Structure 1
Amino acid sequence: MIITVKVELIFGGFSSEEDEECVKVVEIDSSSNLDDLHIAIQEAVGFDNDHLYEFFIANTFRSMERRQFNDENNGLYEHTLEDLFPLPKGKSLFYLFDYGDNWNFRVSKTRHKAKLPLKGAIYPRVIEEFGVNPVQYPEYE
């Protein structure tokens, strides 16, 4: 089944929390694992896949109490989106890319019902976007 997720840049890199928004609405197979979601986000925002990353479930992206999914605990390949959603009440799924620049994204399942894949469609795919992509490596002057 195909589900729809919203990926929203919260903070990171050389941006500030007041910078322009970047939101991607992505259709993805519900059986995709977290590594598949990582690749989909990378492609959606135009980043180079050249840094470590993790996903975590927490109240906020600054919460110290987290359920982490990363290379150390092998959670990236074992957990599918259909395993994780719906999330516990009051919790969100976050994606942290590049521990130096700390690109933080919130990933939420939309209210759209899961559906069968469209014939000929290639998933994952961005179906809506708001704002501009962040610049992963800005020019230094």
Structure 2
Amino acid sequence: MIWTLKIECEWGRYLEEECVRIFEIDEESSLYELHLIILKSVEFDNDHLFEFFTGRHFRNRKPLFSEDAWDFDYEKAIDNYHQMTLNEIYPLPKGLKLFYHFDFGDDWIFKITKSRKKPKSPDKDVEYPQLIESIGPAPEQYPAY
């Protein structure tokens, strides 16, 4: 089935304007694929560590694969991101949201919200994921200050 996801940049060292991207995406897409989709949609280089986590807001985080931040194994997490699909994540427990954290220095934080719209069957003439709406410019990953 095809879902609609809203991906909103909530925080980043150089975030100046609203940045929202809305995609139609296959529910079988992996978290790693979602990572690549987000980076492409904001024109960022894939040159930093990243993580997915849940929380009520981005400052209240609960890692997906480890309860203890000191027990975080990045290589194992990447393997898990390749294997875990969106339909394994959703529905999230009540009150929790999914977040994507890219570049642990500049701290780009994206909130990922699954639409309440009814999932639809894939259109054979459409290549998914498909960007269906873009609000605001992409933030500059490395502005020249």
Flag whether TM exceeds 0.5 (same fold): yes
Structure 1: where are the runs of 5+ without partners? none
Give the match's secondary structure for 1:26: strand
Q: Deviations over 1:39-96 (max 9, x none)?
A: 11111111111111110011111115x0335544443123210111111111000000
Q: Deviations over 1:97-131 (max 9, x none)?
A: 01111000000101221111112211111101111
| Distance in 2 separating the partners of 1:103 and 1:43 | 14
- Please show how residues 44-83 of structure 1 align to structure 2 within 5 Å: 44-64=41-61, 66-69=62-65, 71-73=75-77, 74-83=79-88
The one of 18, 22, 26 equivalent to 1:25 is 22
| Distance in 2 separating the partners of 1:13 and 1:72 | 28
**Higher RCO (CA-CA < 8 Å; seq separation 6+):** 2
Structure 2: where are the runs of 5+ without partners? 66-73
Could you tell me which residue of structure 1 aligns to residue 71 of structure 2?
A: none
The alignment covers a number of residue pairs equal to: 136
2:10 counterpart letter in structure 1: I
Could you tell me which residue of structure 2 aligns to residue 39 of structure 1?
A: 36
1:119 aligns with 2:115: no
Q: Which shifted more, 2-11 or 43-52? A: 43-52
Could you tell me which residue of structure 1 aligns to residue 70 of structure 2?
A: none
| Distance in 2 separating the partners of 1:68 and 1:90 | 15
1:9 aligns with 2:5: no
What TM-score does the superposition give when structure 2 sets the normalisation length? 0.87
Give the match's secondary structure for 1:94: strand
Identity %: 46
Root mean square deviation, CA, Å: 1.4
Contact 1:33 / 1:78 at 8 angstroms: preserved in 2? Answer: yes
What TM-score does the superposition give when structure 1 sets the normalisation length? 0.89
Over 3 Å counting, the alpha-carbon distance change for 1:75 and 1:58 in structure 2 is: farther
